Amino acid sequence: MNTLLSAIVSVFLLLLNVLTVSWAKVGYENWVDLTHPLSTKTPVYSAVYTPLIVNPDKSKAGTEWPSSPVLDGVYVAFRYLEFYEHTGTHIDAPSHFQENGRNEDDLTWEELTGPLVVVHLQDTVGESETVEVTRDHLEEFESKHGSLDEKSFIVFNTGWRRFYWTDPEKYVSKAPYLGPTAVDWIVENQDKVLGVGFESLCPECHEDAPLRLHTNLLPNNKLIIENVGGDLDSLPAKERI
């Protein structure tokens, strides 16, 4: 099937209850969208969950709506979409790896905003596969741009998002990853970290450092955003979001 949802949903639009009361606090004319559209072809971790589908049995269409005087007699179609919350660009909330942890709708606007740090590694990764991001990359970033500000959100720009639609298998199986030393650095500095964003299904899902970022950050109310997309190249190394 073709793309089902043409509108790209902002990462923070996943938290509608927060945004509804927060539009007055920020201007949105300069927002940069860092998400991918949702589709039945959206890459997913198929070993655990299934792709987005349109359920024809639960979809509805027609002109007879006797329980709704407004719609009755008018052709209307409602497609029923089924997908897991970890489909596409999404936030991993604390509850993802903590029993009784906080969900996305428990997070406040203040917990979702802070200085943006973009670690540009697209030239380092290039066309190579399964590239390990290390502590050296992060320390080099600090030497050039200074130490992290409080509540920094670190996004890694590896350029891998270009394979999201063009080569989903490569996107899933050959993505760059945060190696053990990079995870150590983030965990050591997590008091200054709001969260981490990465252009893959999982930043550290590799045999070198399986899930250590998830198990260390999420229980401490830090966030992880996976499948980051959009125009990362246009963003400076440090900015405020």
Give mean pLDDT, residues 165-186: 96
The answer to whether 65 and 71 are in contact (CB under 8 A) is yes
d(CA 92, CA 157): 19
> Helix or strand or coil: residue 202?
coil
Which residue has better confidence, 8 or 78? 78
- CA 223 → CA 10, 75, 164, 170, distances in Å? 16, 43, 22, 25
Is the pLDDT at 20 greater than 60? The verdict is no
Q: Residue 201 above 70 pLDDT?
A: yes
- Are 148 and 189 in contact by the 8 Å Cβ rule? The answer is yes
CA-CA distance, 95 to 218, in Å (whole number)?
7
Sequence-ordered alpha helix ranges (H) in 72-162? 122-125, 135-145
- pTM, two decimals, is 0.84
Give me the amino acid identity at 7: A
pLDDT in tens, 101-119: 999 999 988 888 889 999 9
Residue 88 to residue 8: CA distance in whole angstroms = 10
Query: What is residue 32's predicted lDDT score, i.e. its pLDDT?
Result: 87
**Residue 121: which of 203, 44, 3 has the closest Cα?**
203
The pLDDT, as a whole number, for residue 22 is 42
